[in-house]
Chain A
Amino acid sequence: MGTHLDARIEDGIAILSFATQPAHQPNTFNDATIGEFEETIRPLFADPDVRGIVITSSKPDFIVGADLQMLAGARALPRATFFERVRRMQLLLRDLERCGKPVVAAINGTAVGGGFELALACHVRVAADLPAIRVGLPEVKLGLLPGAGGTQRMPRLIGIREALGLITQGKTIPVGKAAALGLIHEVVPADQLLARAVARARELEQAVQPWDVKGFRVPGGEVHSPGGFETFTGGNAMITKETWGNYPAPRLAADAVYHGLQLPIDQGLKIEARNFVELAYDPKTAGMIRTLFFGMSEAKRLKTRPKSVPIKSYSSIGVIGAGLMGHGIAHAAAINGVEVVLLDVDAKAAETGKERIGAILTEAVRKGRLSESDAKAALARVHPTAEYERLTGCQLVIEAVFEKRELKNSVIERVEAAIAPDAIVGSNTSTLPISGLARASKRPDRFIGLHFFSPVQKMPLVEVILGEQTSEATLAEALDLVKAIGKTPIVVRDGRGFFTSRVFGTYVTEGVGMLAEGVRPALIDNAGRLAGMPMGALTVADMVNIDLSHKIRQQTKADLGDAYQPQPADGVIDFMVERGRYGQKTNAGFFDYQDGGKRLWPELTTHFPPAERQPELEAIERRLLHIQAIETLRCMEEGVVQRPQDADVGSILGWGFCPFYGGIASYIDYVGAARLLAECEALAREHGPRFAPPELLKSMAAEGRALYQ
């Protein structure tokens, strides 16, 4: 019995079962597990008592890939050393498939990344017939590519066209589909898996991979065939279409397939390894893994939750306001087993909210994401009402009424009159400072901001906002609720626009303001997309409603008085509002909306004539991202955001900021404090004090510090 692997020989068949340490986590490959695997399996190649080998796992999963922590450490090595490490695994798998004995993968659970690459190196893959099992090569989703032969074996097995799609999109698929594609030989009931695998190891006469047979040809056509020409020409453009050219991983994965498939597999593997190393050392990949893998899962697991407070479990909550946000929050609670009292001004409004929840559930059932009985049970947990007394037993109540201070104040009072003294009141406000709202509360220590995003059923983020008096217990228990209803929290301190709305707002304002400078509208919108934002600034402005931006600014102006800094966008927004062009809602904003499509409003360039000389694309991209970086640093300096992880997770989940950098904090580190400082100083000189670097950036630059240390 090894540490990570159990090996036994039964009647001439060696059975290797992975159970890597730590025991409570899925099986992964790292230096230790690979080392033990190699030491265990190599002797079997020559062992006369062994006729065949079966590889499986004694955990619920098969193997879920490489240990990304190890990868992060590997970057400290010289590239040549790391290259040799990648090669070591590749060569082991080559020796495995050429050992002359049948090797069978018994896929008992999810086999992805390196796990599936190991399976692909086996002569036969048998999988258990379990719907939860996924197989595939999802590496590109973390900025990597399959580095243990995946880019070479998969296309040699099922053809370039199918494999290229799966690899460059990082798609994982159920075993049935994998079998249909030819990636898996046989799907059997789970209880027969090992027996079938052993039998196949015994039965197989020619233990040789198709690509090691003389005269092998790639199924479905070679790289340089009419089909290959079409696949790659279209595939290359498709990668640009899907990534806007911002993610290097799909491109380098396609490159390994393209060049590797023109050569014998041993040469192809070298190309794959070189591209893998290239990606692994790209600082963008590091940022991506840090946030998308570690940051997200730590946020979901509430890593920063105060440990001293006992974990609270929720059976019943209340939601005030059954509108856009309210019904979405209630839906999230209901599908996660929490009873929800959904309260609105009258029974009809509350009932309408429940109907909208019903519609979301029906859609989920139609798409096969939810069973009919689960949908029914979820809907039964929603209790629409107009009576505040019904809130009595709720452990936490979230108000999601209109963004009007007086209205919210009165709702808070009525809620507190109805609920238990220790119940929490949460406010789903996106604009009003929490400490101000807390003044309406009789127990501000139990008051907290819970900023959900729209549409709630699709947006996983909740920005948890601490008021001045919010207690640690309230924070901990509010986080417990966020987790319980399947959302991902970040914790921020109070302030205008908190973190997400405040920083995202600068992107939109900066883009809209460029119109006044004479930048072409299409250039503004495309530059935003090309920089890595999910939508162009003008498109966003239309979506969130120009009228609303106008109102928010009026409110801000009134609140700040002389401290308000006019923005270049102000004039543009005023102009649009005067014209009644409020955005998508009115089918007329910066764009005209017709027949489901949109075209720029032709008169836009009449009113904001394009300058003779247009700025370079890179200059616009830099402005659109740097303005967000500066605002983030201000938030950190003011203590609104305290950890770069929160900024990263919040920026990706909240407004889709460039996931390929790993989020806004990672972007700041990617650019580097010194360069960011110099560029923002130059931008401030040219465009105004909104780019003026905060002290935090100056000290980071002076001390050579990054946000992540």
Chain B
Amino acid sequence: MNDAFLIDAVRTPRGRGKPDGSLAEVSPVELAATPIRALIDRHRLPADTVDDVVLGCVEPLKDQSGVGRWAVLASGLGERVPATVINRYCGSGLESVNLVAAKVMAGQIELGVGGGVEMMSRVPMGSSGFAPATDPRLAAAFHFVPQGVSADLIATKYGMSRESLDGYAVESQRRAKAAWDECRFTRSVVPVRDRNGVTILDRDEHLRPDSTIESLGKLEPSFAKVAAMAGFDRVVLQRYPEIERLEHFHHAGNSSGIVDGAAAVLVAGAGAVDRLGLAPRARIRGFAATGQDPTIMLTAPAEASRMALERAGLSVGEVDLWEINEAFASVVLYFLQEIGVAHDRVNVNGGAIAMGHPLGATGAMILGTLLDELERRRQRIGVATLCVAGGMAVATVIERVGGAD
């Protein structure tokens, strides 16, 4: 099997995913093209040298429909460069990198771009429909509940308190602000500019660094009313009858933010590295995706991570740094408990609770954060993982190569 090297990972800043968010005025194709263009510029990629592009996008309709190929053409990668759009829901951005890596490892391509885009301001969540929610037979068979209810279920089942979840959220905000203040994202974030070169956004705009446990404590839980009225609480009991009553602890402040954003990751085989004089930053050691019960939905990252580590021949103890997507605070707390690592090696620069979760792009974004931070800390092994709708999860293990240490 060939090696697949991470050459670079870049992302746009994340704009608030509302029609009045800063990035809303940018077209999804243009936003997706922005980080790809940065890769071209940074690595002086000649036209038509990339073999394939895979972009994640969870709502690939309207101006995000088939966004891969149009972003390729808009970015100037060249008309010989094909693209595809994939949807593994919230794991799409990482899955796209894994697919590109797999093609490299299999010797079918030498140079590829993975990544993703999601403009939640333009194409809101659920725009393409969601059969397990609306189709009566499927909803019953799969015990469908909205993700927020699943997050509340995790908190209830594993006895997490509202304070511990809010506390996690406050820490995420603190870490994200500290990371920005210390310019830890400088290498990966490329500003979004208009045609005149005027900056539209160069910094994540969702952060609420002034959040405190007290201020978050005042927020009403987002899913309590709907769950009781519509009956999702009872759907949960069907699948988890050992629970007396579902507690509702999640709210906008301890859940991931709705944002716009795009990311791109350049993956190369040894041949392309030599031919184009690229400098590999890390090697993709292994990856995995798996599925668990779709009702609790958000618990699989630990298992996916273990599977990916096993394929890489590594153990949990050998991992220096972790990135797990902060879909909801309970997802991370459960993950910490389940995988048995301390919070100080996980999401050290904050996560989606502070900076937002542009569904199709987040996986590629946290992979970039992981890579930058491994370099900053001169550490070796990192794992990025995300929980995914339908009970799935995806994980990728990287090992830093070369460098000063």
Contacts and interface: CB of A to CB of B under 8 A. Distances in A.
A237 B238 contact: no
B136 interface: yes
Nearest to B124: A226
A229 B136 contact: no
Contacts of B226: 234
Contacts of B233: 241
A522 B145 contact: no
A125 B354 CA distance: 58
B133 A232 contact: yes
A254 B146 CA distance: 19
Interface in B232-263: 232-235, 237-238, 241-245
Contacts of B130: 229, 233
A236 B136 contact: yes
Interface in A220-275: 223-224, 228-229, 232-242, 244-245, 251-252, 254-255, 258-259
B241 A223 contact: no
A675 interface: no
Nearest to B144: A236
A642 B176 CA distance: 74
A280 interface: no
Interface stretch (A64-72, A370-378, A413-421, A523-531): A523-531
Nearest to A527: B241
A237 B235 contact: yes
Contact of A229 (B129, B140, B229, B244): B129
Contacts of A525: 244
B230 interface: yes
A244 B96 CA distance: 40
Contacts of B241: 522-523, 526-527, 530, 617
A238 B230 contact: yes
A252 B242 CA distance: 28
A614 interface: yes
B238 to A, nearest CB: 5
A301 interface: no
B230 A229 contact: no
Given A238-B230, A522-B243, A599-B244, A233 B134 contact: yes
Residue of A223, A233, A614 with most partner-chain B CB within 10 A:
A233
Interface string B201-218: 000000000000000000
Interface in B59-97: none
Nearest to A597: B245
B135 interface: yes
A600 interface: yes
A633 to B, nearest CB: 27
A521 B242 CA distance: 8
A77 to B, nearest CB: 25
A229 B126 CA distance: 9
Contacts of A259: 135
Interface residues of B, number: 28
Contacts of A236: 133-134, 136, 139-140, 144
Nearest to B239: A617
Contacts of A235: 136
Contacts of A244: 234, 238
A72 B140 CA distance: 27
B234 A229 contact: no
Contacts of A240: 140, 231, 234-235, 238
Contact of B242 (A232, A245, A251, A614): A614
Contacts of B243: 522, 526
Q: Say whether chain A's binding surface is mostly helix, strand, loop, or mixed.
A: helix
A223 B136 CA distance: 12
A690 interface: no
Contacts of A85: none
Contacts of A527: 241
A202 interface: no
Nearest to B134: A232
Contacts of A223: 134
A523 B245 CA distance: 11
B137 interface: yes
A530 B237 contact: yes
Residue of B144, B230, B234, B241 with most partner-chain A CB within 10 A:
B241
Residue of A237, A238, A617 with most partner-chain B CB within 10 A:
A237
Interface string B121-153: 000001001100111110110001110000000
Interface string A576-615: 0000000000000000000000011000000000000010
A395 to B, nearest CB: 48
A232 B243 CA distance: 26
Nearest to B149: A237
Nearest to A238: B231
A241 B137 contact: no
Nearest to A526: B241
A526 B243 CA distance: 8
A255 B235 contact: no
A234 B234 CA distance: 12
Nearest to B231: A241
A258 B244 contact: no
Nearest to A224: B129
A216 to B, nearest CB: 21
B133 A229 contact: yes
A520 interface: yes
A385 B230 CA distance: 51
Contacts of B126: 229
B135 A237 contact: no
B182 to A, nearest CB: 42
Contacts of B230: 233-234, 237-238, 241
Nearest to B135: A258
A600 B244 contact: yes
A255 B242 contact: no
Contact of A237 (B137, B231, B242): B231
Contacts of A234: 226, 229-231
A249 to B, nearest CB: 11
A202 B244 CA distance: 63
A251 B140 CA distance: 8
B242 A241 contact: no
Contact of B237 (A238, A526, A600): A526
B244 A237 contact: no
A255 B237 contact: no
A108 B134 CA distance: 38
A241 B129 CA distance: 23
Contacts of B145: 237
Contacts of A600: 244
Given A229-B129, A530-B237, A239 B232 contact: no
A599 B235 contact: no
A475 B233 CA distance: 48
B137 A251 contact: yes
A245 B146 CA distance: 18
B233 to A, nearest CB: 8
Interface in A464-495: none
Nearest to B146: A233
Interface in A55-87: none
A228 B134 CA distance: 8
B163 to A, nearest CB: 19
A530 B238 contact: yes
A469 to B, nearest CB: 48
Nearest to B241: A526
Given A520-B242, A522-B242, A599-B245, A237 B134 contact: no
Residue of B133, B232, B237 with most partner-chain A CB within 10 A:
B237
B244 A233 contact: no
Interface of B: 126, 129-130, 133-137, 139-140, 144-146, 226, 229-235, 237-238, 241-245
Given A237-B235, A240-B235, A241-B234, 10 more contacts: A223-B134, A235-B136, A238-B231, A240-B140, A240-B234, A251-B140, A258-B136, A522-B242, A527-B241, A530-B237
Please name the 3 residue pairs, one residue from A and one from B, whose CB atoms are nearest each other, closest first. Answer: A241-B231, A236-B139, A526-B241
11 contacts: A229-B133, A233-B146, A234-B226, A239-B231, A240-B140, A255-B136, A259-B135, A522-B241, A526-B237, A527-B241, A530-B241
